[in-house]
Structure 1
Amino acid sequence: MDVSFLGGPQPQLGVGVVAPFDFALDRELWRWVPDDVSLHLTRTPFVPVEVSLDLARLVSEHETLHAAVQALCAVSPQVIAYACTSGSFVGGMAGERAMCAAMTQAGEVPALTTSGAAIAALHEIGARRVAVVTPYTKSVTDSLEEYLGEAGITVTGRAYLGLTRHIWKVPYRDVVDMAREAVVGGADALFISCTNLPTYDVIPQLEAELRMPVLSANQVTVWAALRAIGIQAVGAYQALLDPVARSGPAAMTGSQPPGGPGPTPEAAFAGPSAPPEADSVDGTEPSPYLPDDPGHQPPG
C-alpha cells in the first residue's frame, strides 16, 4: 500500500517535565495539552522518604535537577517544567528562582516550576487573597502559606489532609469537601496544591459552586509551560484557560453563592474517601480535615 500521501507525522512541540519519583498523574497532565504538543517526562531518583519537607528538599536538589534536565534535553524540548509544588516552594521565592536558573543552565532552554507557575496564574486572574487546599501535613502546608506570603498573596482559609503517601489515590469528593471548608474570608480564588492530587474534572464543578476561579498545581504547570512556547492549554469551563468560564460564574465574587454551597453531582466525585495519615514531621498533631466515611477501613 502506498502511504506516501500521508507525508509523515506532523512536527511536535516538546515540553520536558521533571516530576518527583512518586508522581502518578501523567494522564492528568496530558488532558491540558493540545494534540500538537508532546510531553516528555522524567522522574527524580527514588528516596525512601514519605511526603514531608525533607522529601521536598531532596527532590529539588540542584544536582538532581541537572541530571533530569540533561536527560530530557536528548529529545530537544522547547521548555522544561518542574512539576512539584512542595519541591519548588520549600526554599521560598529565592529557592524557586534558583531552581529555574539551575534548570535553564543545565538544558539551555527556558525553565519553570509549579510554584512559580501558581504565582503567575494568580497574577493572571488578579487574585491577591486565596483559599488553599492541600493533601499535605501541617508543616508542608505552613511552608506553602509562607511562600505565597512572600509573593504578596494572602491565604484567607485553608484545609489539608495530613497525608504522607498515596496522595494520587485521593478521590474528588475529598477535594470538594476540603474546598468548601477552606473558602472563607472573601477569597478571590482557590488554589489546590500538589501535582499528585487529581483535580482536572473537579475544577469546573468547584468554580460553578464557589463562584470563583479555581487553580490547581497540574493546571498551572501545564498552562505556564505551554504559554512559554506560545501555546494555549486546553481545559473547557476552567477560568484560567477558558475566557467564557472566566466571565461566567467564576468571575462572581464572594466565598460561596447565597444559601451556602450548591448541590454536587455525585457521579463526579464518586470513590472511597482517603484515610488521614500521621504527620511525620509534626508528630501526633491530627489533621484538621477527616473524611467522613465510617465504613472505610485503612490498609493494614
Structure 2
Amino acid sequence: MTQTASVTPTVGILYPGYSAEDDYPRAEQRLGDGSRLPLVHTLMREDAHRVDALLDVGSEDILADGAKAVAASDGPLDSIIWACTSGSFVFGWDGATAQVKALQEVARVPASSTSFAFVDACRRLGIDTVAVGATYPDDVAERFVEFLGKAGIRVLTLTSRGIITAAEVGTLTDDVVLEFAAAVAGDPAAAGAQAILMPDTALHTIDVLDRLDERVGKPVLTANQVSVWQGLRLAGADRARTGLGALFAAGPEAG
C-alpha cells in the first residue's frame, strides 16, 4: 500500500525512548525539499536490548498510542514508520507483519517498520547477500539474521557489539560508527557481501551515510536511513536524492 505521490510528504516517526532521535531532523534538513518527519517518542518501560523488554517496547497498545499522538500533534500523515528494528524483528516475520497491519489500521495511512524497511531496501538495490554489524547482544542480533532469512537475504557474517541499552548506542561517535562498518566489511567472511547492514535506530548515522559507503566500498544500509527511505516511498515520494547514501541515490528504477 502506497499513497499517491505527495510533493512534500509528512512521514510520522514512532521512536522508542531517547538515543538517536536527532537523526530525523537531520534527515529533514538533508532532504531539503519540504518533506517532514514529525517524531513521537513511544513508551519504553525498560531500555534494554533484551527479548522480553523489546516485546514490550513494540507492543500493539504502545504503537497505537504513538500513532494517535503523532497524528494529533502534526496533522494529516502520508505514511507512518515504527522506527525500531529490534522492536519489530523480535516478533518474527509473522508477528512483525501483524504489528504493521495493526499500526496501519490505527493510523489509516501506509505503515511499515524498520525491519521491513531493511528488506525492501535490499530488494530495491538487488541485494540478497549481506554482512551485518549489530550493536545488540548476540541473541538479539541473531533474530535479525533469522528475519532477513525469511526474506531470502543471506547473512555471510554477523558482528555484534553486545551493547545492552539504546542510550549507550546513541553515544557512539561518527568515527566509531565508521570504524565499526569498516571492521565488519574487513572480515574475510564478508568478502562476498553486496552490502553492510547496521540495524539499530539508536545509532547515529544520517550525517555519515556517504562516508560509510565510501569507507567500505559498497552500500551501507543503516536503520534510520532505511526508515526515512521507507516512509517516503510509502508516501509516494520515491525519487533519487543525494547526500543520504547509495540507497537514496539509486532512485526508484534501481534493482
Q: TM-score, normalised by structure 1?
A: 0.73
Whole-Å Cα distance in 2 between the matches of residues 191 and 137 of structure 1? 16
Partner of 2:202: 196
CA contact (8 A) 2:9 2:232 kept: no
Task: Tell me how far 1:24 sits from its aligned partner.
Answer: 3.2
Question: Which region of structure 1 is more displaced relative to structure 2, 46-55 or 13-22?
Answer: 46-55
Partner of 2:247: 240
One-letter amino acid matched to 1:182: V
Partner of 1:43: 41
Partner of 1:276: none
1:141-180 per-position Cα deviation (integer Å, ceiling 9, x unaligned) = 1111111111111111222211112211011222223223
Whole-Å Cα distance in 1 between the matches of residues 179 and 247 of structure 2? 22
Higher helix share: 2
CA contact (8 A) 1:157 1:185 kept: no
CA contact (8 A) 1:223 1:233 kept: no
Partner of 2:3: none
Q: TM-score, normalised by structure 2?
A: 0.85
Question: Which region of structure 1 is more displaced relative to structure 2, 231-240 or 94-103?
Answer: 231-240
1:223-270 per-position Cα deviation (integer Å, ceiling 9, x unaligned) = 1101112224744262111149xx9xxxxxxxxxxxxxxxxxxxxxxx
Unaligned runs of 5+ in 2: 1-6
CA contact (8 A) 1:104 1:111 kept: yes
Whole-Å Cα distance in 2 between the matches of residues 220 and 233 of structure 1? 14
Partner of 1:16: 12
1:215 aligned residue (221, 237, 241): 221
Whole-Å Cα distance in 2 between the matches of residues 205 and 24 of structure 1? 18
Question: Which region of structure 1 is more displaced relative to structure 2, 230-239 or 178-187?
Answer: 230-239
CA contact (8 A) 1:34 1:234 kept: no
Tell which has more relative contact order, 1 or 2 (C-alpha 8 A, sep 6+): 2
One-letter amino acid matched to 2:182: R
Question: How does 1:87-106 map onto structure 2 within 5 Å?
Answer: 87-106=87-106
CA contact (8 A) 1:29 1:218 kept: no
Task: Tell me how far 1:36 sits from its aligned partner.
Answer: 1.5
CA RMSD in angstroms comes to 2.2
CA contact (8 A) 1:130 1:153 kept: yes
Whole-Å Cα distance in 2 between the matches of residues 123 and 95 of structure 1? 21
| Number of aligned residue pairs | 236
Whole-Å Cα distance in 2 between the matches of residues 78 and 202 of structure 1? 27
Structure-2 change in CA distance of 1:48 and 1:237 (3 Å): closer
CA contact (8 A) 1:89 1:144 kept: yes
Larger radius of gyration: 1
1:230 aligned residue (223, 226, 236): 236
Unaligned runs of 5+ in 1: 1-10, 248-300
Structure-2 change in CA distance of 1:40 and 1:200 (3 Å): closer
Whole-Å Cα distance in 1 between the matches of residues 105 and 126 of structure 2? 31
